[in-house]
Amino acid sequence: MQPRTQRQKEILEYITSFIERHGYEPSYAQIARHFGVSSKATIAKHIAALERRGLLSRSREGGAFGLAVTVEEASGDEICVLPLLGRIAAGAPIDAVPDAEPISIPRFLLGRVRPENVYALRVVGDSMIDEHICDGDIALIENRIIARDGEIVVALVDNDRATLKRLFRFGPEVELRPANSQLAPLRLPAHRVSVQGIFRGLLRPTA
């Protein structure tokens, strides 16, 4: 079952990514702050709606509510095939170069994202190394053109050079921020940057 409204979908995605990143659930206040909502009651209504649809569950411990995302579990041995579309720079932007063969990955690596909405890119460079995204890794990318501030995105610069960075908006400009203390962020006019996908996971080759 899917969320009924776009805002419910965004809240569910935020809770899911927050739990994956931090290992615990966000508070109602954190969710409200993320979406620029002043009332926690508004967030509570969305949470209740998601719970009614079976997409979230709530438990109460020590006087505080906890949230858990209800995930439809895929078989542990289920495999899906993703197109490997080329290379993505984790450094200065480079041109995407198509690879010949798709890759096979365990379905569970994609979480709630449908396989048909995901593609793979081979990482080149070390600008995202503090996020444990290393040269030679395979980045799993959700095919999406809208990103929230702070998400790791595939950013297309000047319509021909792709790079993997965290994206932040500053009025008429965007900042593509590396996860490497030795490197400076790249600030560009917003019209020069378009989002081509959202980072969803990583596959590290063993050979």
Tokens 């990482």 label which residue? 123
Q: 57 or 70: which carries more pLDDT confidence?
A: 57
| Residue 77: both structure tokens together | 């041995």
Q: How far apart are CA 174 and CA 186, in angstroms?
A: 8
Q: How far apart are CA 102 and CA 105, in angstroms?
A: 10
Tokens 């993320």 label which residue? 34
SS3 132: coil
Torsion, Cα 145 151 153 155, to 10 degrees, reads 80
**Where do the domains of the chain lie?**
6-69, 79-203
Least confident of 42-46, 85-89, 144-148, 200-204: 85-89
H or E stretch including 46? Answer: helix 40-52
H or E stretch including 188? Answer: strand 186-189
Q: What is the pLDDT of residue 201?
A: 84
Tokens 């411990």 label which residue? 61
CATH number for 79-203: choose from 2.10.109.10, 3.40.309.10, 3.90.180.10, 1.10.3720.10: 2.10.109.10
H or E stretch including 31? Answer: helix 28-34
Q: How far apart are CA 94 and CA 15, in angstroms?
A: 33
Contact 107, 125 (CB under 8 A): no
Give the highest mean pLDDT range of 4-8, 85-89, 166-170.
166-170
Percent of the chain with pLDDT over 70: 80
Strands 64-69 and 56-61: antiparallel
Q: How far apart are CA 89 and CA 133, in angstroms?
A: 11
Contact 156, 95 (CB under 8 A): no
What is the CATH architecture assignment of 6-69? Answer: Orthogonal Bundle (1.10)
Q: What is the pLDDT of residue 188?
A: 95
Q: How far apart are CA 93 and CA 125, in angstroms?
A: 10
- Would you please indicate which residues are annotated as catalytic (active-site) residues? 127, 165
Torsion, Cα 161 165 7 143, to 10 degrees, reads 40
Q: What is the pLDDT of residues 97-123, one digit of tens each?
A: 554 478 888 777 777 778 888 888 888
Q: What is the pLDDT of residue 72?
A: 47
At 30, the pLDDT band (50, 70, 90 cuts) reads confident
Length of the chain: 207
Q: What is the pLDDT of residue 93?
A: 55
Strand partners, 87: 122
At 166, the pLDDT band (50, 70, 90 cuts) reads very high
Please say if the pLDDT value at position 181 is more than 80.
yes
Strands 118-124 and 84-89: parallel
Say which DSSP state 119 is in: E
Q: 205 or 103: which carries more pLDDT confidence?
A: 103
pTM above 0.85, yes or no: no
